[in-house]
């Protein structure tokens, strides 16, 4: 890593307003705080200077009992390196109540280094006309509303986060952590971002376009307890040979009935679910580790690298090694 001593800290302003999502603000802020801790260990006292701003200085209540103290008001003259607009549960009311944030965003967008909107905070950028003709994302629950209110925006409801030049948007709440890790990586490299991810016990999800709906998350939506139990078992046993007869027996069903119930509850066949789970696990191993491809294949239930290659080419159009070169690799000398 470059010598970081005597470099000016990068200023990050968190833009809040009454009703902002507390978890979103604190989770994202924590990424930069942990980055500061590691940078200090490398000889730099503060890599990021973090500020809370609003339409005016003073206490700002969140969507919980937490209140944050804004040190000042958003300014069109005193610009940070990065500004992060936090989302809200009641985003339409927030837009009505805070036109100054929209006007500020429109004014600073051409000049600021990065303008970030987390979750429904993307509505502020859209209302300012900044996202017209650009891809953007938001929390899945308000994606249709964003598309309806701002039809010029290319809403991609399935993405974790997206970047369009200086503008960044993310999905809901914890996706802000993924986006913040991407900012740390851009500023100081993958090694630091991975250290912070480990501190927070989260995955370093480098490809921002990954789906909000991971296999693990969607499996939690299954209402049938027997099928949900099978999904959980599959996700914990991907390295084992998995077939319909084995799963049907575990569910105490005939194969035919098991397939029927599984498709009804999950929306995909059992084999499609297994394939999706193996792909997701394989991606994660390639993104966050440096295991040999043969070992990656074995950990997700394949006997050869060729099977792993076929899976990646089928779904991603890229070979595993090329995927790793683009998105992955643990710090040199350390296995994950």
What is the tens place of the pLDDT at every residue in 138-161?
A: 998 999 999 999 999 999 887 889
Question: So what's the pLDDT on residue 250?
Answer: 94
* Tens digit of each residue's pLDDT (9 = 90 or more) over 199-211: 887 766 655 555 5
Please state, as a whole number, how many other Cβ atoms lie within 10 Å of the Cβ of residue 108.
19
> Is 256:218 a contact under the CB 8 Å cutoff?
no
Which has more pLDDT, 92 or 322?
92
> Is 113:186 a contact under the CB 8 Å cutoff?
no
Q: Does the pLDDT value for residue 334 go beyond 60? A: no
Question: So what's the pLDDT on residue 336?
Answer: 27
Percent of the chain residues past pLDDT 70, beyond the cut: 89
Mean pLDDT over each residue of the chain, to the nearest integer: 89
Question: So what's the pLDDT on residue 191?
Answer: 84
- Among positive and negative, which fits the CA dihedral 169, 172, 178, 184? positive
Cα gap 91→80, rounded to integer Å: 24
Question: So what's the pLDDT on residue 306?
Answer: 95
Helix (H) or strand (E) holding 60: strand 58-61
What is the signed CA dihedral for 276, 139, 323, 301, rounded to 10 degrees? -20
Question: So what's the pLDDT on residue 203?
Answer: 65
Question: So what's the pLDDT on residue 42?
Answer: 87
Q: What is the band of 216 on the pLDDT scale with cuts at 50, 70, 90?
A: low
- Most confident listed range (43-47, 115-119, 310-314): 115-119
* Tens digit of each residue's pLDDT (9 = 90 or more) over 217-275: 566 667 888 998 999 899 889 999 999 999 999 999 999 999 999 999 988 999 999 99
Q: What is the band of 19 on the pLDDT scale with cuts at 50, 70, 90?
A: very high
Question: So what's the pLDDT on residue 212?
Answer: 56
Q: Does the pLDDT value for residue 308 go beyond 70? A: yes
Cα gap 273→242, rounded to integer Å: 11
Helix (H) or strand (E) holding 175: helix 175-188
Question: So what's the pLDDT on residue 330?
Answer: 44
Closest CA to 120 of 87, 155, 98: 87
Question: So what's the pLDDT on residue 242?
Answer: 94
Tokens representing 117 are 């909107």
- Among positive and negative, which fits the CA dihedral 68, 74, 78, 80? positive
CA angle (248 as vertex; 243, 254 as ends), nearest 5:
125
Q: Is 158 exposed, middle or buried (0-12, 13-18, 19+ CB in 10 A)?
A: middle
Percent of the chain residues past pLDDT 90, beyond the cut: 69
Q: Which residues sit opposite 168 in a β-bridge? A: 116, 163
Residue with tokens 């309806």: 148
Question: So what's the pLDDT on residue 4?
Answer: 45
Closest CA to 137 of 124, 128, 146, 127: 146
Q: In the chain, what is the greatest distance between 2 CA atoms, to the nearest angstrom?
A: 69
* Tens digit of each residue's pLDDT (9 = 90 or more) over 76-92: 999 999 999 999 999 99
> Is 126:150 a contact under the CB 8 Å cutoff?
yes
What is the signed CA dihedral for 224, 229, 230, 235, rounded to 10 degrees? 130
Q: Which residues sit opposite 82 in a β-bridge? A: 12, 114
Q: What is the band of 331 on the pLDDT scale with cuts at 50, 70, 90?
A: very low
Please state, as a whole number, how many other Cβ atoms lie within 10 Å of the Cβ of residue 148.
10
Q: Evaluate if pTM is beyond 0.85.
A: no
- What integer is the mean pLDDT of 177-198? 89
């Amino acid at each position: 890593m470059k010598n970081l001593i005597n470099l000016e800290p990068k200023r990050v302003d968190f833009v809040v307003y009454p009703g902002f999502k507390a978890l979103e603000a604190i989770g994202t802020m924590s990424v930069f705080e942990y980055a500061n801790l590691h940078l200090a260990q490398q000889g730099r006292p503060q890599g990021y200077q973090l500020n809370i701003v609003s339409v005016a200085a003073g206490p700002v209540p969140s969507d919980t009992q937490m209140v944050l103290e804004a040190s000042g008001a958003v300014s069109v003259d005193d610009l940070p390196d990065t500004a992060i607009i936090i989302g809200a549960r009641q985003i339409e009311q927030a837009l009505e109540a805070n036109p100054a944030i929209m006007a500020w965003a429109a004014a600073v967008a051409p000049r600021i280094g990065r303008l970030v909107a987390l979750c429904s905070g993307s509505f502020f950028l859209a209302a300012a006309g900044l996202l017209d003709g650009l891809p953007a994302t938001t929390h899945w629950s308000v994606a249709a509303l964003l598309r309806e209110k701002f039809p010029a925006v290319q809403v991609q409801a399935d993405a974790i986060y997206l970047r369009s030049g200086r503008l960044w948007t993310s999905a809901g709440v914890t996706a802000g952590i993924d986006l913040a890790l991407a900012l740390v990586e851009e500023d100081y490299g993958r090694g630091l971002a991975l250290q912070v991810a480990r501190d927070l016990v989260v995955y370093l999800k480098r490809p921002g376009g990954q789906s909000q709906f991971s296999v693990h998350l969607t499996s939690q939506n299954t209402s049938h307890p027997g099928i949900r139990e099978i999904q959980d078992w599959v996700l914990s046993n991907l390295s084992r040979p998995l077939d319909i007869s084995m799963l049907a027996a575990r569910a105490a069903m005939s194969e035919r009935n098991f397939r029927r119930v599984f498709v009804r509850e999950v929306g995909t066949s059992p084999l499609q679910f297994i394939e999706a789970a193996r792909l997701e696990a394989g991606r994660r191993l390639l993104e966050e580790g440096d295991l040999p491809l043969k070992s990656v294949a074995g950990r997700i239930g394949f006997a050869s690298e060729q099977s792993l290659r076929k899976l990646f080419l089928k779904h991603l159009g890229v070979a595993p090694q090329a995927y790793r070169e683009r998105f992955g690799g643990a710090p040199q000398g350390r296995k994950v």
